[in-house]
Amino acid sequence: MRAPLTLALWQCAPAPLDVAGNLARLELAARQAAHAGARLLVCPEMCITGYAIGTPAVQALAQEADGGWAHAVAAIAQRHAIAVVYGYPERSADGRVFNAALWINAAGKRCLNYRKAYLFGALDRDQFAAGAPSAALFDFDGWNVGLLICYDIEFPEAARALALAGADLIAVPTANMADYDFVARAVVPVRAYENQLFVAYANFTGSEGSLVYGGLSVVAGPDGTPVAQAGRDETLLIATLHDHRLTAARHAARHVQDLIALRNPAP
């Protein structure tokens, strides 16, 4: 049986365009999370620059996946011995800009870079190119983990692809508005339940321009019940994931196993 995995979700107000300030705040959150025993810190979508900053700012600020921000966060991760997942605008080699999330481990290694595949409305489509759907996973201390970003988790196919690939945990940086509270309260727990895995959904709170974010960051368990749930205020939400919850859920509900069997019938 795998050792329990303690993680932290950083629910904060956005600070648009304040990259230096956001990196400093991220370091403080990493320090606090590590002090609380967390081995992973999940930050909101586009937390480095702000989310609703407009196409000109996105184009001006975007960096490569191995750019200066990645090196700065790698140093933070190493200083506090904690893995970090953060959202940022990524410039690709061909000049396109993606809404991306990068997982850096406690040794400062880039483990997985993910580009948002499902773009939400004009706000996303005007600022970013769509990434290709991906079911990429990597091993984090014995846990198979993958990434989605915000709107992606609202598509059953995105989470199911990761489940079929063997995911135990999906980390989801998000910037979800208060008008869509049902996503944190209902959709995320359902995704966890129907795929028998954990989902860690880290949201902004407060406002950014005309947007009002809903908070309600949540770690949903594989049985559909919350392991931890935030309210509206800024907070560092701590949750511990236990392997026995996965085992119990996968015995009680067999959606993924039955789908695999249906696709690969015995001779």
Global confidence as pTM: 0.97
Average pLDDT over residues 158-177: 98
Q: Band of the pLDDT at 264, cuts 50, 70, 90? A: confident
Sorted by where each starts, the structural domains of the chain and their CATH numbers stand as: 5-263 (3.60.110.10)
Pairing of strands 5-11, 40-42: parallel
Task: Using the predicted structure, report yes or no on whether residue 1 has a pLDDT greater than 80.
Answer: no
Average pLDDT over residues 146-152: 98
CB 5 within 8 A of CB 241: yes
Task: Give CA–CA dist 148/198, Å, rounded.
Answer: 13
For 231: left if phi > 0, alpha if psi spans -120 to 50, otherwise beta; the answer is: beta
| Residue positions annotated with a catalytic role | 45, 116, 150
CB 257 within 8 A of CB 166: no
